[in-house]
Structure 1
Amino acid sequence: MLKRMFVAADPGRLRLRSAVRAVLGISLAVAVCALAGLALPAVVTGGLSALLALFTVTDRTVRGQAVTTALLPAVGLPVLALAAGLHDHAVPRDLAFLAVAGAGVYARRWGPRGHALGTFAFMTFFVAQFLHTAPRQLPEVYAAVILAVLASSAVRFGLWCYERRLPVPVVPALPGGSGLARITTRQAVQAVAGGAFALVVGQLVSGERWYWAVGASWWVFVNTSSRGETLVRGFRRVLGTFLGIGAGALVAVPLHGATVPTAVLTAACVFGIFYTAAVSYSWMMFAVTVLVSLLYGLLGFLEPALLLLRLAETAVGAAGAMLAVLLVLPVTTHATTHAWIEQAVRSVHRCTAEAAARLAGAVDADPAPHVTELEGLLARVRLSLSPLTHPLSPLRARKARARRVLALLDDCAREVRGLAAVAADPMASHDARLAAACARVEAAVHALVAPPAAPAAVAVAPLSGHHLEAEGALAHLHGLERALAELAAPVRTSPRAPLVAA
């Protein structure tokens, strides 16, 4: 697991850039809040607000990211007021917390912006419980949130806006539906059910720190779309928390909240959260748990018993989420995985169409955005198949099938990247063989998935003769055709049937 974190590919060094920028943005936010003379709880709120603003906002364009970031206080400040006002009224507070949790998950139906705003709303309610925010503290807390969002935005959109120069992988969404057919609707119901279990049992474990169980339950649902994904994520959350508790006991407890070393280690944890989030949920949770331990030490509450209590509450929350996805409107791994694979195959077709059109002389054709889209879709396929490829999975036939699908889709991605590189070469040409090869790729795609209402045309005007510059494109097209043909065996047959090689 540790090896995977450090050897994982980082195209464009996006993870490294994101982690370094997060440290700068959050450090500036905390410094601004402290220089403004705000109390320590308000400064902590500001730092967490900056972290969320940098972590959750993932719109496709810089303009979209700026709009979403500007909307965060509009969502978070009313929720803070609600949480502070209900702090001493247990039943209304609990019901409001569950309502915010359900709404936060349901908001994901509106894409990255809905996801960011829903997450920020839930976490502001959570932070109010974490810091015991009272109504009299709201002016300071409001100031901290606004200053932190402004400071982190100054870094993200001013000092270091690398998205203007690098393609950022897009996190796609599954097609919607209506009513309970929509995954976000089902997950919202599951989040409320799992949160209710976590809230009740968490309060039995601790009347003071019960909110950790609700938070653990809610975060298990983030970036998952099937019960298998959620079960694996719950396991990884408990594992990461367990490891983080051990590190917190060794590192945070002896510091007793000493300011300078705590600040240095907090920056390291922030870096770890952003650097590992895309490749290892367990290590991200490790960094989060150590960060929380440091914050408790800074606030003067840290002791070993508190760390053990956090582990217990995390286990309760993960159990609530797991029970919810198993018993309440379950979404099967197979159905979700098939939908993601279908989207990935369609994306391969779009990449091929654009590259072929570029080779044919269409100057406005550009496969690069579709290659980026394909990378995001392959990440979602890997996540969806993770329950089957997990080392502890007992389903050997389905594990072999899942690994075969991933290998073939990786082959497709490699060939598409190569094809796009050939198409970008101004010396590249096309000949009579390209049209036939593109037609075969299109036929292979339609053999796997039903053609859309208006299929993308692979337009290549055939010319007589053979051109040496086209040999590279032909090789990639033949590789695509082979990989797509071999995908038929694992994709079009029963997931429980033994896999027979094509």
Structure 2
Amino acid sequence: MFSAPDPGRLRLRVSLRAVLGIGLAVAAAEAAGLSLVASITGGLAALLALFTVGDATVRRQAVTTALLPAAGFPVLALATTLHGEPLLRAAAWLAVVFCGVYARRWGLRGHALGIFAFMMFFVTQFLHALPAQLPELYAAVALALAASSAVRFGLWCIERRTPPPAVPAPLPGTGLARPTTRQAFQATFACAVALAVGEVISPDRFYWAVGTAWWIFVNTASRGETLVRGFRRVVGTVTGIAAGLLIAIPIAGAPLPTAALVAVCVFGIFYTAAPSYSWMMFFVTVMAGLLYGLLGVLHPGLLLLRFQETAVGALGAALGVALILPVTTHGATDAWIRRALTCVHGCTTAAARRLAGDSTADPAPLAAELELLLGRVRLSLAPLVHPLSPLRARKTRARQVIVLLDDCAREVRGLAAVAAEPAGRTASHDARLATACRRVETAVHALVAPAAGRTDAGAAALAPHAHLASDAALTHLHALEQALGDLAAPLHTSPRAPLVPA
């Protein structure tokens, strides 16, 4: 996993910055004379601020970070006040869950604020915080956000040089069909199941089940995605528990070794979050064991209980997506594929206009958007290509779709590169380009609107003089047309029927 591609070493830099920012936050809390409970709360607040705040611009990131206390402080007060009232505490936490997921409809800012609010409730259960500790908890969170912000926006502002890519907008919908509304009900039901069963297993450690159910619903859109994410979380937790038995228990809360290993875990969480959810959960679980050691409550039975609560949370998530407003993997995947194919057409059109001399047309942003959309398609298809998937026909189709869409992306990138070259701006209205672009448009139309059928683009006369830029563009357009044509078989035949080799 540590050999996964890291263009520009962005993941490496973000991970090192996280270690620095969280370390500074904890050091500030310790220097202020705050308790261990407050220091851990501050460290978690810094981690969340660095991990979840992902707005498109540095200015928006700073505003979102400044708003985190507005979401977190009331929840801290509510959770500590209701700590001794199990029924009221459960009702309040489920309300926080619903509001936290529903807030995702307001984009990345709502997403970050919702997670922060949920985790402030979680940390009070993890640390058994009481109302008398609220002032120092508030102080720790404020110090942590100030320290992590000083690193993120001052000392090491990576985003000023490499702005984060735009995130594809969620799939459309209204009412209960809106993804955020549907997930709010699903997550609340899942957390209710996790809370009820988790309390039966352990009235003191039930929060791990609720936390598991909550995090499984982050960045998922379909039943299959949620189930795969739950499986990966359990795998990461099991391996993390095994490592905890070998690492955290022998250390037994010794401050310096624990601090060093927690720093390693923080680095691992940030570095592996994008390529592997299982590895991220491994580091989260090891870090939790180390923190339990610092609190003086770590023992092998506690790690076993951690696994049981995680399994309960994963079960709650599975029930939530299966029973409450379910969305099939096929439905979600089909919508993302349609968006990707529409983007292919848009990029092709922009490139053709640029090659025809329109200096305002730029296919590069659309080519970048296509990469992001294909990432979302891969995530949606992940349940079907998972090694444990028993649906062989669907697995074959999903793999073929991924390969062909990757082919489309490669040709689109090549086309955009040709259009960006100075020679490409003098392709001079080559009629062959117009004809090829119309054929690509027809192919895309047949895939995203099959009921309408194909339209005959006709044959245009060839330009009297060939041009090198035109020839290069035509090569990409012909390959793109071939890939789009090959997509018809896996997209338009029954998912259960075996594919006939071309």
Q: Is the 8 A contact 2:217 2:317 kept in 1?
A: yes
* Aligned position for 1:321: 317
Q: Is the 8 A contact 2:17 2:152 kept in 1?
A: yes
Report matched runs for 1:80-479 at 5 Å.
80-428=76-424, 429-431=426-428, 432=430, 433-450=432-449, 465-479=465-479
My pick for the range that moved more, 369-378 or 135-144, is 369-378
Separation of aligned partners in 1, 2:10 and 2:352: 29
User: Which segments of 5 or more consecutive residues in structure 2 lack a partner in the other structure?
Assistant: 451-461
For residues 211-239 of structure 1, give each alpha carbon's deviation from its aligned partner in whole angstroms, at most 9, with x where no partner exists. 11111111111111111111111111111
SS of 1:177's equivalent in the other structure is coil
Q: Where in structure 1 do 4 or more consecutive aligned residues deviate above 4 Å?
A: none
Displacement of 1:398 in angstroms is 0.4
Displacement of 1:464 in angstroms is 5.2
Q: Is the 8 A contact 1:174 1:340 kept in 2?
A: no
Separation of aligned partners in 2, 1:464 and 1:121: 66
Question: RMSD of the TM alignment (CA)?
Answer: 1.7
Q: Determine which of 64, 67, 72 is the counterpart of 1:71.
A: 67
What amino acid is aligned across from residue 9 of structure 2 in structure 1?
R
Displacement of 1:128 in angstroms is 1.1
Separation of aligned partners in 2, 1:473 and 1:155: 45
Change over 3 Å in CA distance of 1:357–1:19 after alignment to 2:
farther
What amino acid is aligned across from residue 96 of structure 2 in structure 1?
V
Q: Is the 8 A contact 1:167 1:372 kept in 2?
A: no
Q: Is the 8 A contact 1:273 1:284 kept in 2?
A: yes
Change over 3 Å in CA distance of 1:326–1:155 after alignment to 2:
same
For residues 356-392 of structure 1, give each alpha carbon's deviation from its aligned partner in whole angstroms, at most 9, with x where no partner exists. 3333333343333222222221111111111110011
What amino acid is aligned across from residue 354 of structure 1 in structure 2?
A
Separation of aligned partners in 2, 1:62 and 1:179: 33
What is the number of equivalent residue pairs in this alignment?
488
Separation of aligned partners in 1, 2:420 and 2:159: 21
What amino acid is aligned across from residue 274 of structure 1 in structure 2?
F
Separation of aligned partners in 1, 2:25 and 2:416: 41
Q: Is the 8 A contact 1:174 1:339 kept in 2?
A: no
Separation of aligned partners in 2, 1:43 and 1:360: 62
SS of 1:6's equivalent in the other structure is coil
Change over 3 Å in CA distance of 1:279–1:449 after alignment to 2:
same
Change over 3 Å in CA distance of 1:10–1:367 after alignment to 2:
farther
Displacement of 1:421 in angstroms is 2.1
Displacement of 1:345 in angstroms is 1.1
* Aligned position for 1:482: 482
For residues 420-471 of structure 1, give each alpha carbon's deviation from its aligned partner in whole angstroms, at most 9, with x where no partner exists. 22222223242412222222222222221249xxxxxxxxxx9752111333
Separation of aligned partners in 2, 1:20 and 1:396: 41
SS of 2:496's equivalent in the other structure is coil
What amino acid is aligned across from residue 414 of structure 2 in structure 1?
G
Displacement of 1:103 in angstroms is 1.4
What amino acid is aligned across from residue 490 of structure 1 in structure 2?
P
Change over 3 Å in CA distance of 1:146–1:356 after alignment to 2:
farther
1:54 aligns with 2:54: no
My pick for the range that moved more, 238-247 or 98-107, is 98-107
Displacement of 1:167 in angstroms is 4.7
What amino acid is aligned across from residue 49 of structure 2 in structure 1?
A
* Aligned position for 2:2: 6
* Aligned position for 1:499: 499
SS of 1:448's equivalent in the other structure is helix
Displacement of 1:291 in angstroms is 0.9
Q: Is the 8 A contact 1:169 1:375 kept in 2?
A: no
Separation of aligned partners in 1, 2:366 and 2:84: 52
Separation of aligned partners in 2, 1:370 and 1:259: 50
For residues 299-338 of structure 1, give each alpha carbon's deviation from its aligned partner in whole angstroms, at most 9, with x where no partner exists. 2221111111101110111111111211222111100010
Displacement of 1:501 in angstroms is 4.1
What amino acid is aligned across from residue 465 of structure 1 in structure 2?
H
Q: Is the 8 A contact 1:422 1:472 kept in 2?
A: yes
User: Which segments of 5 or more consecutive residues in structure 1 lack a partner in the other structure?
Assistant: 452-461
Identity of aligned residues (%): 69
